[in-house]
Amino acid sequence: MTPELDMAEIAKVFFQECREGLDVMEGGLLSLDASADLENINTIFRAAHSIKGGAATFGFAAVAQFTHGMETLLDEMRNGARPVTEAALQVLLKCCDCLREMIESTQAGAPLDAANIARLDQQITRLLASGAGPVAAQPAVGGRSGATQEIIGWTILFEPVKDLLRLRNEPTRMFAELQRLGDFSASANLTRLPPFEEMDPEACYLSWTIELGGNIALTQLQEIFDWVDSRCKLEFTPHAKPTAAQPAPAPAPAPAPAVQRDAGSIRVATEKLDAIINLVGELLITQSMLCGFADGIPANELGRLRQGISQLSRNTRQLQESVMQIRMLPIGSAFSRFPRLVHDLSRQLGKKVELKLQGESTELDKTVLEKIGDPLVHLVRNALDHGLETPERRTAAGKRHTGILELAAFHESGNIIIEVRDDGAGLDKARIRQKAQERGLIAADQELTDEQIDNLIFMPGFSTAEQVSDVSGRGVGMDVVRRNINDLGGHVQIFSAHGIGSTIRIRLPLTLAILDGQLVRVGKEVFIISLLAILETIQIDPQRVSRLAGLSSLYHLRDAYIPIVRLCDQFDVQPDNRESEDGLLVILEADGKRIGLMVDDLLTQQQFVIKSLETNYNAVPEIAGATILGDGTVALIIDVPDLIRGAAAHAA
């Protein structure tokens, strides 16, 4: 690998660590208040300092310079020179947003938003110039307690470990930082140099004595050397102009903790990889066993052949499960955006909200995780805007003035359940019905159950907002939520009690790569239907079939009439028999609507690996993909939501 490619790979790690550091900073700032927990401030400061140091190392000067202002403000907070104020926290949060954009633009090679950067720089500068608190007295360096002195310079002894360069640390960048602080000079100590033939080109044999002039705080020097290995020898000796008699100062050792790398940078847990390696070894053993039958199968060896096939099946299933585990990520990464969202939006709406997160360690497929983010944002914004009341209204209703918004995730029956709960006003069913009638979504005399009224909020164009704002009121969002969730093979339900609160429950498959499906046959063709969409399967009773003039048939099932869709007509397949009484009806549900799918026969249920058709074809209506069956034939997978939408459009 060339040095350029090597550095490019390291830069990718830097950008990822920047994002993780920004998450730490944002989370810490959101949890800060007037009590100003020192450990929390130190954590935020260390994250900012790491970003600044890494940016300077890679030559991203704009990122390093912008972060320096944030770091200075945080340093004053942790040293007691400035109180933690709401105004300062809001500026720092905006700076985190700006820094995140700078990181993304820098990685993509795009231009930075210079106007926003300059505006926030000015806000930081004004805060630093305001002197918003008493400066805490700093202890005398190397002197007796109580003695005061003016620092006029420093002597720094720096003797690094030999593998300094191998760790990609560059002393000259550190010297450049020191030069910005004051008059700088350095002399190298060559006593550790070995004979030329014994030199290691990647080892560092030099040490340095550095003279630095100026009234410079010890903390500033420690920050520059913060990255060095704890095994390095590092001493700071101040040059002071004492104003009171005192002994000569002694050298003060400076702490130089080793940089702690986040274990999260390993994207796949090693135990998952170990499990796969072990299973591959088992497969190789089974392969060797079965290869022995390549030239023929003696009658007395049939038992061993069956044993090998059984072992192969077991190992393959375990390998599949292990590979799927690699794709599983904790949902906490999707939840992590909501503390900031709730903080900003509740301030905008003038509401007090406490966010509770449960089940952040619950794992689901990476693809599902990426696609569920936007629907969750819609649901949280809707709960904040429509669900939770203002403190005044909550107090008048006998509630605590701070509302509670909960995000919870857990596994249930092979699926993942995500719930968005609030203890707000709940859904006003009378108002929802009135708005739906005004918008022509339902007829004035139409009878609806409470559940059907609640589900009206998912209809396109529905909104109860009195005025359009940047939060809600345009009638888009909730219908998109349901459509996106259905596209993931999921289902959304809403439960609400007026004056008590609402819960929106999302049921999702653990993965989109594997489908639990039901094989159905129509004529000579085989199709697959997701088990999540199947409610029940019944033998058709001709007495319950009603035929409408010019339209499809309906089936009377209990208290409802369900449209009958013939799969043979949808895909131009010749069935065994077109008469209804000879077929089976598979009751499917999606988007809150049901149909009865008429098929000739039900086959087996099993797991299928989904293959996309769009790689070689355009999107095919009512087909979600395909899979290869055990006999080598291809079976199409039915897109149930699209099939139901098509049936509804045809009926209209």
At 288-330, the pLDDT tens digits run: 667 767 667 777 777 777 787 888 877 777 777 777 777 778 8
Tokens 């140099």 belong to 193
Own/partner pairs for 529-534, CB < 8 Å, 24+ apart?
529/586, 529/588, 529/597, 529/637, 529/638, 529/640, 530/489, 530/637, 530/638, 530/640, 531/605, 532/415, 532/489, 532/490, 532/491, 532/507, 533/489, 533/588, 533/589, 533/590, 533/640, 534/586, 534/587, 534/588
149-253 belongs to which CATH class?
alpha beta
pLDDT of residue 357: 92
Q: Which helix (H) or strand (E) holds 520?
A: strand 514-522
pLDDT of residue 366: 80
Instruction: Decide: 588 and 534 in contact? Cβ < 8 Å.
Output: yes
Complete DSSP assignment for 268-300? S-HHHHHHHHHHHHHHHHHHHHHHTTTT---GG
pLDDT of residue 553: 84
pLDDT of residue 527: 93
Q: Cα(326)–Cα(267) distance, rounded to whole angstroms? A: 9
pLDDT of residue 6: 55
Start-to-end CA distance of the chain, whole Å, equals 63
- The parts of the chain modelled with pLDDT lower than 70 are 1-9, 33-36, 131-149, 166-169, 226-231, 241-270, 288-289, 292, 294-295, 413-414, 461, 463-477, 513, 549-551, 579-582, 591, 614-616, 650-652
Name beta bridge partners: 251.
none
At 150-195, the pLDDT tens digits run: 778 888 888 888 777 765 567 777 788 888 788 888 888 888 888 8
pLDDT of residue 174: 78
330-509 belongs to which CATH class?
alpha beta
pLDDT of residue 295: 65
pLDDT of residue 214: 83
Instruction: Give the fold, CATH level 3, of 514-651.
Output: OB fold (Dihydrolipoamide Acetyltransferase, E2P) (2.40.50)
Q: Cα(550)–Cα(564) distance, rounded to whole angstroms? A: 14
Q: Cα(174)–Cα(183) distance, rounded to whole angstroms? A: 14
Q: Cα(47)–Cα(26) distance, rounded to whole angstroms? A: 10
Give the per-residue SS3 of 87-153.
HHHHHHHHHHHHHHHHHHHHHHCCCCCHHHHHHHHHHHHHHHHHCCCCCCCCCCCCCCCCCCEEEEE
Please give the CATH architecture assigned to the domain spanning 3-130.
Up-down Bundle (1.20)
What pTM, to 2 d.p., does this model score? 0.58
Give residues with Cβ within 8 angstroms of 84, minimum separation 6: 32, 33, 34, 36, 41, 77
How many CB atoms are closer than 10 A to CB 9?
10
pLDDT of residue 423: 93
Sheet of strand 415-422, all strands in order from the earlier edge strand to the far edge: 353-358, 403-412, 415-422, 501-509, 491-497
Report domain extents, the chain.
Answer: 3-130, 149-253, 271-326, 330-509, 514-651
pLDDT of residue 227: 62
